[in-house]
Amino acid sequence: MLDPGLEDSTRDKLADDVRKRIDSDGTLRHEDNWGTRKMAYEIRQRTEADYRWYRFEAPRELLGQLDHNLKIADGVLRFRIFRVDPNSPVIAPPSSGPPAPKQEAPEEPSPEPPQEPPPEPSPDAPEEPPQDPPEEPPQDAPEEAAEETPEETPAA
């Protein structure tokens, strides 16, 4: 991750130096310039960084040299060197464009047909009180046992 405050030519020179170092003692398998992206958190009071990505094979000595050189290089905000399985696929960078607008899902028809309003009562009909739905026992409550009659014990 390179400092985006540097000139493009300076950032390209830093990346080119790393590429040349890898090519001199190792094998560069893949290189990708992800461009300037917003970071998850600030590093050295920067909110963006120029992301460069290299996949390469190299001896341990080269890894130590790269680690040292990138730590002291001006313009490198952060870097990571880690081992990956050589047979694992190369992953494309995530999209850096603005998020796609949300598309509203079309309304699905409701499973129940629309209900017709109840007929209006005639003025001569007596009013009936509203009926409450039957109460169901709570799901956590134990089932009620059937009512039992006490057994009579014979008197002796």
Q: 88-109 pLDDT, tens per residue? A: 888 776 665 554 455 554 555 5
Mean pLDDT over the full length of the chain: 76
Say how many C-beta atoms besides its own lie within 10 A of residue 76's C-beta: 19
Nearest to 97, CA basis, from 34, 33, 52, 5:
34
42-91 pLDDT, tens digit each: 988 888 999 999 999 999 999 999 999 999 999 999 999 888 888 888 87
- Output the pLDDT for position 11: 93
For the chain, give the DSSP string. Answer: -B-TTS-HHHHHHHHHHHHHHHHHHSEEEEEEEEEEEEEEEEETTEEEEEEEEEEEE--HHHHHHHHHHHHH-TTB---------TTSPPPPPPP-SPPPPPPPPPPPPPSSPPPPPPPPPPTTSPPPPPPPPPP---TTSPPPPPP-PPPPPPP-
Range 1-25 average pLDDT: 92
67 CB contacts (<8 Å, ≥6 apart)? 81
**Dihedral angle of Cα 63, 32, 96, 48, to the nearest 10 degrees:** 40
pLDDT band at 149 (very low <50, low <70, confident <90, very high): very low
Return the amino acid letter for 131: Q
- Output the pLDDT for position 87: 85
The overall longest dimension of the chain from CA atoms, in Å, is 112
Q: Which stretch, 9-18, 109-118, 119-128, has highest mean pLDDT?
A: 9-18
- Output the pLDDT for position 89: 85
77 CB contacts (<8 Å, ≥6 apart)? 1, 2, 3, 43, 44, 46, 49
Q: What is the pTM of this model?
A: 0.54
